[in-house]
Amino acid sequence: MTVTVGKDTAKTRKTLTVGDQSVAYYSIPAAQAAGLGDFSKLPAALKVVLENLLRFEDGGFSVSVDDIKAFSDWATMGGKNPREIAYRPARVLMQDFTGVPAVVDLAAMRDGIKALGGDAQQINPLNPVDLVIDHSVMIDEFGNPRAFQMNVDREYERNMERYQFLKWGQKAFQNFRVVPPGTGICHQVNLEYLAQTVWTDTDQNGELVAYPDTLVGTDSHTTMVNGLAVLGWGVGGIEAEAAMLGQPVSMLIPEVVGFELTGAMTEGTTGTDLVLKVVEMLRKLGVVGKFVEFYGAGLDNLPLADRATIANMAPEYGATCGFFPIDNETLRYLRNTGRDEDRIALVEAYAKENGFWRGADYAPVYTETLSLDMGTVVPAISGPKRPQDHINLDVAGKAFGDYVKGVRGGVTATAKEEVRWEGEGGQPEPVNIPCDEGHHSRGYVKTADGSYQLHDGSIVIASITSCTNTSNPYVMIGAGLVARKARALGLNRKPWVKTSLAPGSQVVSEYLEAAGLQEDLDAIGFNLVGYGCTTCIGNSGPLDPAISKAISDYDLIATSVLSGNRNFEGRISPDVRANYLASPPLVVAYALVGDMNINIATDVIGQDQNGNDVYLRDIWPTSAEINALVERTVTREAFIKKYADVFKGDEKWQAVETTDSETYDWPASSTYVQNPPYFRGMSKDAGTIQNVHDAKVLAVLGDMVTTDHISPAGSFKDTTPAGQYLIARQVPVREFNSYGSRRGNHEVMMRGTFANIRIKNEMLDGVEGGYTTGPDGAQTSIFDAAMAHQENGTPLVIFAGEQYGAGSSRDWAAKGTALLGVKAVIAESFERIHRSNLVGMGVVPFEFTGGDTRKTLGLTGDETVTILGLDAVKPLQDMTAQITMADGMVKNITVKCRIDTAVEIEYIENGGVLHYVLRNLAKVA
């Protein structure tokens, strides 16, 4: 790999000698000395972007001296100067749910460029790309020693077509590596192994150049690595593919919010408690599209594992990233995780020489600031629907009761009712007791684990899962100690709770076993189920059929508790309505209780073997206990050992066979991988942006409609359009897998668009799920309605509320929207990544202005919409949308076109960013 840099860089290119190694670098102090501006007060996060521009300035890379001077103006203008710049990340990170469709697109682009007269080898990543297979393992088996192996076996059975395809891609494309299944979660592998904080590469003259490690990733939680001072954020697969192929990321110089941390965490609190508080505060402030940089004396008391937890949840607080500058803790973590000593020395010398070091005098300018004394943080959870819904643990039981009141119209749930069973011959049968005061729903269940009552608030899933927390040894060791203390007292999980442990890397298992804690976790049902995202992305697997049936039959509000980062409706399990985010130790504790109605902080959580009451405080470990085990078991040697053969994989991966060819031989019978239609019949020349004429409304959606609502990742039934598609191809229901695993097949994903079981289309009264009205006015699935409109040649629009597209960087939320024939989305506001993805797929985003909303306009979905002037649109232009109501009355409203930059206009003109890249490559063929 060769890094190409600007040609006329003598003023800022300097040499740094570290030990016996000399490297070139691009000096920010030298740029200042050369009169390009005063950069001394820039936040470190913004200096990373500035260095990127210095490195590429005047090299034919769309970077000008004025772009560099704009950063000095940013500081003098109070942290604001939204100038458009071209930014080039050093590398790209992918996971398999988003990576498979990205590789599908690259394979299709090879076909497409050959059709345009070009060379297939022009389609190759120019920057290093790592794809980590982490999203495919599903929890079919749990709570026993065979769970891990059985889940791995099922993973390969389900996903062999996808794995063969990825292996083909690894052979066919340059600069593309695959980390096999069973290794860990991409963000944790990135944090613990791939990331270097300061990257080195050779330039076009063969000289070694040092520069900040930067990346974009096809997963929103790419931000985790900002805890290691590596600037990275999530983009859609579409934008990542463009970055791979050398296309810069077009962005505005962001505002940077400074978040000051002071004090230290108190006894009994965890990094999870801290991040849930941070999420609440930053969502309240509003940081969408902004960088957040953490600073202050409190960082001296904050281990990097906690920093990574905070950085990880940047999508949940809405920021582009949450950045921590380089300091002594950065160096300590690099050393402890097995990084080379020469690299660590380079990181320190480079950071101090080029102004990236956080020392005692670090005091940059920020756009605005807020502050948190970490000593005020208390134990907490978040839920039941959004990460920012922060709940102090000491009122969690009451908060759940209030939630149930809202759902049930004032009737609360309770755990106090005794189970009643009646039956003959020792075979009990459930008796349905009618609802009374204090109860709405309760069901009776008999499973292999016993007979018991379920009710609103029964916890049916307790999962230690996700990169957010399983990368943090303090909370993982803490969970193990809770299990140890509970086991010693004779406590166990409730029989209706599906428990699971899915670490983010094999290193976690190494230190849990070294500490003897895995045995304690196993004893109460937290056996290893796999190394991957599992529950956090909807791969929680099926519940016991009897439990699932009781939830459905009695309309129960079943709950889950997980150590993840997202708890949106319909995400975790189709059987679970209320989901709560919690630290791993609390996940274990809630599994022992089995009920969200219990106020776990103060109520009795069980009885020991002698019948004595047990409280949470009796099983909660001290900080000293946790720290002692972390110090003893989380070692540099463990990281070196587990990452020694990270790309090799196990025997199953090595046995995966694939073809060796320049272009992919698309198997016609595959239901996992199909050649997408994006580039078929494409001409060499772009057109103009098409105006919207007499478009019909496909859906009217509310606030906080997430990408999970638009393009769910989890399981689906045979009655859905996607299920019917697979049934017609002789795929049995047991082999459906998930939407996420089938993202390489556009036919499945089109049918899954807007198909979340909890989405609510306001065109229909009280109906949940992916439904709308068709051209004939009758209720039908969104997919069938869209296809009927396409057959009539009718364009479509969608109306929505605030924060449209929040959540995952799910490119299929935009791809599916485009393939359904939607030409425009008009919302009150957009989340950053989804807006970019819509543009990348040729769908024009608009925002209401002047106080107009779908509600103030009285929209019902019976309207038609016309928007003219798109053929000559300018970035962020106000335009007129003509809305013709069902009674013929016309309302003209002003909307802001959220095509934000000039290059995005070109993307839309080409039909999308990949079409833009493909045409440009074909021109130089």
pLDDT at position 432, please? 41
* 357, amino acid identity: W
Using alpha carbons, select from 100, 117, 120 the residue that is nearest to residue 109: 120
Query: Among positive and negative, which fits the CA dihedral 392, 395, 397, 399?
Result: negative
| 692-709+760-923 matches 380-638 in CATH topology | no
Cβ–Cβ under 8 Å, residues 489 and 618: yes
pLDDT at position 3, please? 45
Write the pLDDT tens digit of every residue in 455-500.
999 999 999 998 989 999 999 999 999 999 999 999 999 999 999 9
pLDDT at position 196, please? 97
Q: Residue 176 above 90 pLDDT?
A: yes
Mean pLDDT over 160-175 rounds to 94
Mean pLDDT over 60-69 rounds to 84
- Domain positions in the chain are 91-376, 380-638, 692-709+760-923, 712-752
Q: Residue 9 — very low, low, confident or very high, per pLDDT cuts 50/70/90?
A: low
Write the pLDDT tens digit of every residue in 793-811.
999 999 999 999 987 778 8
Average pLDDT in the chain:
92
pLDDT at position 136, please? 86
State the Cα–Cα distance between residues 480 and 515, nearest whole angstrom: 9
A 10 A CB-CB count for 728 gives: 8
Write the pLDDT tens digit of every residue in 204-218.
889 999 999 999 998
State the Cα–Cα distance between residues 661 and 504, nearest whole angstrom: 33
Mean pLDDT over 552-579 rounds to 92
* pTM (predicted TM-score): 0.86
**CB neighbour class for 876 (10 Å; exposed up to 12, middle 13-18, buried from 19):** middle
pLDDT at position 426, please? 36
pLDDT at position 441, please? 60
Q: Is domain 91-376 in CATH 3.30.499.10, yes or no?
A: yes
State the Cα–Cα distance between residues 545 and 630, nearest whole angstrom: 40
pLDDT at position 608, please? 96
- Between the alpha carbon of residue 140 and those of residues 96, 232, 271, 530, 548, the distances in Å are 19, 33, 30, 11, 14
Angle CA(386)–CA(389)–CA(394) in degrees, nearest 5?
A: 135
Mean pLDDT over 78-93 rounds to 93
Q: Which residues are CB-neighbours of 441 under 8 A, at least 6 positions away?
A: 413, 435, 455, 456, 554, 555, 556, 557
Mean pLDDT over 433-451 rounds to 64
Q: Residue 411 — very low, low, confident or very high, per pLDDT cuts 50/70/90?
A: low
pLDDT at position 433, please? 40
Write the pLDDT tens digit of every residue in 693-716.
999 999 999 999 999 999 998 889
pLDDT at position 415, please? 39
Question: By percentage, how much of the chain surpasses pLDDT 70?
Answer: 95
Q: Residue 418 above 80 pLDDT?
A: no
pLDDT at position 5, please? 46
pLDDT: which is higher, 411 or 639: 639
DSSP state of 241: H
Q: Residue 268 above 90 pLDDT?
A: yes
Q: Residue 450 — very low, low, confident or very high, per pLDDT cuts 50/70/90?
A: confident
Cβ–Cβ under 8 Å, residues 811 and 238: yes
Q: Is domain 692-709+760-923 in CATH 3.30.1600.10, yes or no?
A: no
Of the listed ranges 56-60, 376-380, 587-591, the one predicted with least confidence: 56-60
Q: Residue 1 above 80 pLDDT?
A: no
Mean pLDDT over 625-653 rounds to 95
User: Strands, DSSP E only, in 334-401?
Assistant: 368-373, 380-382, 390-392
Write the pLDDT tens digit of every residue in 523-535.
999 999 999 998 8
Q: Which residues are CB-neighbours of 730 under 8 A, at least 6 positions away?
A: none
DSSP state of 433: P
Helices within 728-807 (DSSP H only): 746-752, 782-791
Per-residue HEC secondary structure of 243-267 comes to HHCCCCEEEECCCEEEEEEECCCCC
Q: Residue 437 above 80 pLDDT?
A: no
Using alpha carbons, select from 541, 516, 470, 530 the residue that is nearest to residue 192: 470
pLDDT: which is higher, 659 or 298: 298
Cβ–Cβ under 8 Å, residues 502 and 155: no
State the Cα–Cα distance between residues 769 and 709, nearest whole angstrom: 9
pLDDT at position 419, please? 35
Q: Residue 8 above 60 pLDDT?
A: no
Fold designation for 380-638: Aconitase; domain 3 (3.30.499)
State the Cα–Cα distance between residues 805 and 706, nearest whole angstrom: 5
Q: Which residues are CB-neighbours of 297 under 8 A, at least 6 positions away?
A: 261, 262
Please list the helix, strand and coil fractions of the chain in percent, rounded to the nearest 5, in that order. 35, 20, 45
Question: By percentage, how much of the chain surpasses pLDDT 90?
Answer: 80
Q: Residue 117 above 70 pLDDT?
A: yes
Q: Residue 4 above 70 pLDDT?
A: no
